Each structure stands twice: as structure tokens, then as C-alpha cells.
Structure 1
Amino acid sequence: MKKLILILVSFILIVGFVIGGTIGIVFKFKAKAHSEEKFLLPKVSLRDLEDNKIKFNKIKKPTILLFWLPQSKSCQQQLENLTIIKEEYDGNLDIMAINIGQIDKKKIEEINIEQRKEILILIDDKAELTEKLQVTTIPTLVFYTPSKKPKTIIGLKEEKELKKLIKNYFSKLKTK
């Protein structure tokens, strides 16, 4: 009787290992296939100050999204820091400043003209993109490239720290 129980337990263990191994192979294959997929931003469209439409799920270039409000001093400082940094990447890095909520375009247009040339300003009047990316604090940065999961950075970052963060996330990005 003991031998029969021992054989039965051994059989169950062997069958369990075979089934577990098969399931493991299947899930490893899917995990590998999944990791090769591109990461896309949500399917949301926002408009810039000239009323051009930007589709976020179509962005293919390394991009930094700055969620901000023009009346916030820390947001204005973050925008200035990003403007300085953008010049170093010679067109290899896009930076978009996303104004959250309904606001008069004239307030946004009061921002330094040089910054508006370097950084695309968009208006998320319904906070659709803001909610989908779960942004709850300003300023918030979202680093994005289709080959990696987006990285969210909360709060004002000084120029030196921003450069380090950008270098770590966009490791293959070249400067001038």
C-alpha cells in the first residue's frame, strides 16, 4: 500500500512538473514577445496654440512631456530649464509643455517668446491626457520613447539634475 501511494505521489509530481514546464515555456515566450512591443502613449489628441492637432499615440521620437500651469513659478522655472537643455540635443529630443485645464491662450502667449519657439505648448483643457497618465502634481515630467516604458518625474528639477535624468533614460540620445 505504501509503494502504491509513493508511486501515485511520484506520478502526480512528474505530471505537475511537465505541465508546469510547458506553461512556463508558453509564458516565457509571451513575455519575450511582449517586451519587444513598442510602448505607446494614450490615444489622445491635443491642440497647440496655433490650433494644430497632436496625436500622442503617434509620437515616435524621444519626447519629454511637461505638465504645467503658466501661473506656477516652479513650472515656469522647469520650462526655462528644459528650454536650455533642448538646445543641446539639436533636434533629437522633442519637448512639449502641456497646460492642464481651461486657460486663456493669452496667458500662455505671455511666456518668453524664445521658449515658445523651442518648446511646443499644448492645452489639455479637459485634462484627458493628464488623467490617463495619472498626473496629479505640477510640474510633472514624463520621459517617453517608444522602446521603453515612460518614466514620470515629479517636482521641479534643476538643470544639472535634469541632464542626468535625461542621459539615464534616453541613453542613446546624442547631444551637439
Structure 2
Amino acid sequence: MKAIRAVNLSISVLLFSLLFAICFVYEASASSLVQKGRVAPNFEVVDLNGNPFKLSDLKGKPVLLNFWATWCPPCKSELPEFERFFEEYGKQVHIVAINLTLSEKSKDAVKEFVKKQGLTFPIYLDVEGSVAETYLVRYIPTSYFLDENLVVEDMHVGPLKFEDMVKKFEVD
């Protein structure tokens, strides 16, 4: 009986170790896709009207890639800052605001929120959560700063202020 328990325990430890190793390798390989100095992973999402959008279409000027949700208080606090930045520097920097739609009540709720807030910068829907998964978004808001060739320059977790964006992109 003791021998059977020992074998079962050994098998359990082995399976747990194997599962941990697989998860670690997956996480490490996924995180290596989004690193400073590397081209940001491409993705395709839709805008609020259902029109497709690809990150790779934006080469030519820097990109502020932001992940957010309507129910997130820090996200709500930074949205007016994004709007101000877009109004002043939208011709120099692309803003790509990715809503974590999987966590929302509905797409229509996101549309209504955007309308009520008076947001005019581009908003896109990550309906399946695949973009947030690719970019390893664990906390929101999370923002990535990409150069004009879509190379990752930096990442920021937490709300951004207008001044932070101006400083990061060296616009004036």
C-alpha cells in the first residue's frame, strides 16, 4: 500500500512539475514577443463600427497602444488625458486604445460609454481577449510606446497623464 502511495505521489509531483514547466515556457515565449527593441506583435481588431484594423497599418509615426476597460477607475481617469493628447498631438502620434471587450457587459455598452465621455480618438475592441493575451496584459490600464517602425520602446502599467505622453513621445 505504501509503495502504491509513493508511486502516486511521484506521478503527481512529476505531472505538476511538467505542467509548471509547460506554463513557464509558454509564458516566457509569449513574453519574448513583446520586448523593448523588438517589433510589436501585429494584431487585427475592429473599431466601434465593426471596421477591421491592423496594427501593421500604422507605420510612419509613433504609436501609443493602450489597454483599458470602462469599469476600470484608473482607466477612466486617464481617458480625458488621452483625449487632450489626441487633440493636440494626434497628427504626430497614433493612439490605439484597445478595449478589453471580453470583460465588458457588451459592445454596445462600450459604444455608449465612449459617446458619453466624448472620446474622439480611435477605440478598438478586443472581443476575444487575444490581443491582451498576446501583450500579456495583467493589469489595466497598460500602455506600450512604439516608434514609427512599431518597435517597442517602453511599457507603462497604470494611468498616464498628458505630461507623461508628451515627455515619452518628445512632442511639443
- With the shorter chain as reference, the TM-score category is 0.5 to 0.7
- TM-score (normalizing by structure 2): 0.66
- Where does the alignment leave 5 or more consecutive residues of structure 1 unmatched? 1-37, 168-173
**1:161 and 2:140 aligned:** no
Structure showing greater relative contact order (alpha-carbon pairs closer than 8 Å, 6 or more residues apart): 2
Structure 1 equivalent of residue 109 of structure 2: 107
Larger radius of gyration: 1
Structure 2 equivalent of residue 126 of structure 1: 128
Q: Distance in 1 between matches of 2:159 and 2:151?
A: 23
Amino acid across the alignment from 2:124: L
Structure 2 equivalent of residue 144 of structure 1: 146
Question: 1:105-133: per-residue Cα shift (whole Å, max 9, x none)?
Answer: 2221223537432x111111222111212
Amino acid across the alignment from 1:98: I
Aligned length: 131
Do 2:40 and 2:152's aligned partners in 1 also have CA atoms closer than 8 Å?
A: no
- TM-score (normalizing by structure 1): 0.65
Question: 1:140-171: per-residue Cα shift (whole Å, max 9, x none)?
Answer: 1111121643421100123333322332xxxx
Q: List structure 1 runs of 4+ shifted beyond 3 angstroms.
A: 112-116
Q: Percent identity?
A: 24
Shift of the 84–107 alpha-carbon distance from structure 1 to 2, 3 Å rule, reads same
Do 1:101 and 1:125's aligned partners in 2 also have CA atoms closer than 8 Å?
A: yes
Amino acid across the alignment from 1:161: D
Query: What secondary structure does 1:110 align onto?
Result: helix
Q: Distance in 2 between matches of 1:166 and 1:67?
A: 18
